[in-house]
Each structure stands twice: as structure tokens, then as C-alpha cells.
Structure 1
Amino acid sequence: MWLCAGLLLLCFQGCLSLTGPGSVTGYVGGSLHVQCQYRQSYKGYMKYWCRGPHDTTCKTIVETDGSEKEKKSGRVSIRDRVENSTITVIMEDLREDDAGSYWCKIQTSFIWDSWSRDPSVRVTVHVSPATTPMETTLPATTATLSLANSRQTLRISTNAVFFFQL
């Protein structure tokens, strides 16, 4: 009984060491920014961004080297901002097939077995079709407004030029 409680506590502590947005949405052709927060005790560790349904089998896309320098791999970059304990991932030129499960992870163990788990948080990426701006064409018109008790007439054109007649 105590062993189960101890294992649960270890898992719970690991779960709280890294947090992320849960899910993010971007548009085809656009870019996406993801920020994951970690405990200060993980300063100097290598951080990485990987893709896959499970954290233990995800494929690494880009990783830091333990410094604050931005690292880039193709359309994806990662940066570790130590001053605020934040991992920032930017995905550029989004495509529909970029949608899926990704993981912010911190490499803490170098022995891969069933008991060694790096702190990780899942981020589901959604990619929506690109939006197209609506274009509206208005006919060129001029409105005339007579001011009460005045001989002045105000004419307003759609091209925002104002004419005053006295």
C-alpha cells in the first residue's frame, strides 16, 4: 500500500514540474507560438519538442543544448528562456498535416527503461484552413447634407474628401 502511494506521489510531482497550454490553434500558412513553463530546478537541462501520441515514443523535432540560444530545425524553432523558466516553440508556415499531438519535454534521464520518464506535457495542435479577407466594393457616391439655419452645404464623398460650399 505504501509503495503504491509513494509511486503515485513521484508521478504527481513529475506532472507538476512542467505545464503547457493543452491545445493551440493556428492557420494554414501562419505561425504558432507555444509556451511551456517548468520549475526553476530544471534550469540548464536540455529541452525538446517532439511529436507522437505518447510521450515515451514521440519523435524529436527540435531541441535545445542547455543554453538560451534559439535552435531551429526546418520550420520549427525552440528557445529556453531561463529568466522566466519558459520553453518557447514556434512552428512556421503551418500545414494541415502539422495537426496532432506534440510534447514539451525536459531531458533528465539518459537511461531509457520503463521506469525512467522525462517530465513532459502534451500539447494538441489544431490547424485550421487559411482565412481569406472579405473584399467589399462600394459604388462611388456623394452625400449632400444641408446644415439647418445655414447656407452651408456639406458634401461627403466615399473617398473621404470633404467639400464645403459657402
Structure 2
Amino acid sequence: MYIMKMQREETMQRFDKRTVSLKKFIACFLWLITGTECTTGSAIRLLTVQTGGSLIIPCYYDRKYTEHKKYWCFQARSAYPYCSILAYANETKGKVSVIDHPDQSFFTVTMRNLQYKDTGAYWCAVETEGITWDVTEKLHLTVQSAPDVSVVNSSVSGHEGGDISVQCLYSSGYQNEVKRWCRYKDPSCYTVGRTDTSQNSSVQISDDGRNFTVLMTGLRLTDSGWYFCSLGKQEAPVQLTVTGVLTLEEFDRNGEDC
């Protein structure tokens, strides 16, 4: 029975790959005759990471695709029709792990031990029915000795009513760029010197010419989610987790730990 189950799974995987290949062939054909790339989504996201480093990337999708397969795709020369699927959702292949969060309509991609050869174009992708091309969002990742834009911690946490701070580092070439703190899927951002967002949390941004610091006070549970430090077209993802208010017992225990 175990062998039969494995054979069925391998057959389904081969069928899935043929289906995706057919869609890519159609997309490639359209790409060749029109000269345009068949992708959907907003402007290309640009990210940089230090050689040997790791990165977690959130990929959002429409709720109607909750039951659809998701995958992470790579092509060094930025042509989606020729990209190679590195991993599907909820599997790990080599140094790539993809985890789907259907209750929140996004999946995360974790890439580890990144090297210069990993520089190139990537796509967050959702398989669609029929022979139409898949829904995709394009990113370009550059792996270099010193990233243009990065964060001290890519995952921060705080308690309801408390504060958190995030340090966003940047190279000298970005000193004159507008510094922004944005929430994914939110068209508004916080920028240095002013607040322009639909969120109610108090946010302050200070810039010292080498890095800018984001301070969020009066945290709410709804502030949990993915954000990014943004300079020009470059961004660095940060995951914020807000938990409930500390109880007196937890407060005492944390005090002892300190």
C-alpha cells in the first residue's frame, strides 16, 4: 500500500509539472510574439541580502486562490516563461522552504545561505485553472557583500499597548532617498518627518544618515503582520508579531529573567 501511495504521489507531481510547463509554453509563445511579459501585480520589488545570509519573503494572494497551489520560481535573466520552480508551498527543497498561510492569504519563502549565483528574478506564483498563465508577482534579489538596504532584525515582537523599534540600515548611496515604513497590501506608508497612513498606531521615524529607526508605540493586536523598510525601490521585509497584554505573573517572571 505504501509503494502504491508513493507511485500515485509521483504521478500527480509529474502531472502538475506538465501542467505548469504547458502554461509556461503558452506564456512563452505570447511573450515572443508580443514582446511583453505576462505577469500580474504591482511594480517589481527589489531586495538585497548579504552573501551567506538568509531571507524570508511574504507573498500575498487573493483569497479566491486559497485552495490553489503556490510555488516559488527563479530565472536569472528575468524571463518568467523560462523560470524553474524551486519549491511548492509546504515543502522544502535544498535551501528553499515555502509555507502557506491560507487563513491570512499569503505564503512565505525562506531562502538560506544565499550566494552570488542566487542573484536574479524570482516570482511568487499561484497556479490557476485551465491553460491561462499563473498569477505572479515579480521580485529581483541581489546577493552582495554589503546589502544596499537591510534590517537588524527581520522578526520583531511586542505586547499589546507596548512599543517596538526597528533599525533599517542603508548604504551611503541611499542617503538622499525618502525613507519609508510600509505595511504590505497597504497603499499608505509612514515617512520621515510625517505620518500618512490609515493605521492608528503612533509611529515615529528618525534618520541619522546611516540608518533610520522606526518606533511604533501603543501596539494593537491588529498591527501584527508584514512590513518593510523602503528606500527608493529597495525594500527589506520585517515581520511584526503583537501578543496580548502581559499578566502580572508574566511581568514578574520577565523581570526576573532580566
Q: Same fold (TM over 0.5)?
A: yes
The one of 229, 249, 256 aligned to 1:104: 229
What SS class does the counterpart of residue 120 from structure 2 fall into? helix
d(CA) in 2 for partners of 1:95, 1:3 = 42
Answer yes or no: is 1:8 the counterpart of 2:120: yes
Higher share in helix: 2
CA contact (8 A) 1:100 1:125 kept: yes
TM-score w.r.t. structure 2 length?
A: 0.39
Residue matched to 1:127: 242
The higher-RCO structure (CA 8 Å, 6+ apart) is: 1
* Pairing 1:77-92 to 2, within 5 Å after superposition: 77-82=204-209, 85-92=210-217
Larger Rg: 1
Q: Report % sequence identity.
A: 27
* Pairing 1:5-154 to 2, within 5 Å after superposition: 8=120, 11-12=141-142, 16-20=147-151, 21-52=153-184, 58-64=186-192, 70-72=193-195, 75-82=202-209, 85-107=210-232, 118-134=233-249
Deviation at 1:11, TM superposition (A): 3.7
What RMSD over aligned residues (CA atoms) do the two structures have, in Å? 3.0
Gaps of 5+ in 1: 65-69, 108-117, 136-166
d(CA) in 2 for partners of 1:32, 1:121 = 17
d(CA) in 2 for partners of 1:2, 1:23 = 28
What SS class does the counterpart of residue 173 from structure 2 fall into? helix
d(CA) in 2 for partners of 1:93, 1:39 = 31
Gaps of 5+ in 2: 1-74, 79-116, 122-139, 251-258
What SS class does the counterpart of residue 91 from structure 1 fall into? strand
1:33-89 Cα offsets, whole Å, 9 max, x none, are: 01011111111211101001xxxx54333112xxxxx4445511112111xx11100
Runs of 4+ in structure 1 deviating by more than 6 angstroms, as ranges, are: none
